[in-house]
Amino acid sequence: MTTLQSTSSAVLPEHADAPDTFHIFVTVKTTRHWLDLPTEQRLAFLREEVIPLLRRRPELKLRWFEPEAFSTRATDVMICETGDLSAWAWFCDHLRETRFWDHYFEVLDIMPALEGNYLV
């Protein structure tokens, strides 16, 4: 009986430097509720409800981009970097319990991805 053995790695060569790093792209669209808030109230909401969630999951690194001048579908793109998808799932579950989800922002897409390092 012949057994086949794979010599390939579980990780694609382009991910060898960071095999467990995921980038999660979340496109959202602001609602009228968010746009009607004064800046001080927006910042207070983020300080009181969103930032404490991120502090509880230090394995998440979050960046925020604003394409609203260039897009009619998404007004904002949140990019999360993590090696722990369960931390991301926890964050999403808790974010849904805040006014962020479906009150201040309509979540359009969540796209987890590995960086395509083969192009560099």
* Contact residues for 82 (Cβ-Cβ < 8 A; gap 6+): 21, 22, 24, 59, 60, 61, 88
Is it the case that residue 16 has pLDDT exceeding 80? no
Structure tokens at 13: 């060569």
| The pLDDT of residue 6 is above 60 | no
Q: What domain range is 72 assigned to?
A: 29-109
Percent of the chain with pLDDT over 70: 81
In a domain, 76, yes or no: yes
Quote the number of domains for the chain. 1
CA distances from 108 to 16, 25, 28 (A): 31, 10, 5
Quick: pLDDT tens for 54-73: 999 999 999 999 999 998 89
The predicted pLDDT at position 115 comes to 79
For residue 85, the surrounding DSSP H or E stretch is helix 85-96
Q: What CATH number does residue 74 fall under?
A: 3.30.70.1030
Residue 11 has pLDDT above 50, yes or no: no
Q: Could you tell me if residue 1 is inside a domain?
A: no
Which has more pLDDT, 14 or 18? 18
Query: What pTM value is reported for the model?
Result: 0.80
- With respect to residue 63, please indicate whether it lies within any of the assigned structural domains: yes
- Residue 3's CB is within 10 A of a number of other CB atoms, namely 4
Helix, strand or coil, per DSSP, at residue 24: strand
pLDDT at residue 18 above 80?
A: no
Establish if 99 belongs to a structural domain. Answer: yes
Determine, yes or no, domain membership for 48.
yes
Does 21 map to a domain?
Answer: no
pLDDT reported for residue 8: 45
Residue 9 lies in a domain: no
| pLDDT per residue as tens digits for the range 83-119 | 999 999 999 999 999 999 999 999 999 999 987 766 5
Strands 22-30 and 105-113, by their bridges, are antiparallel
Supply the pLDDT for residue 116: 74
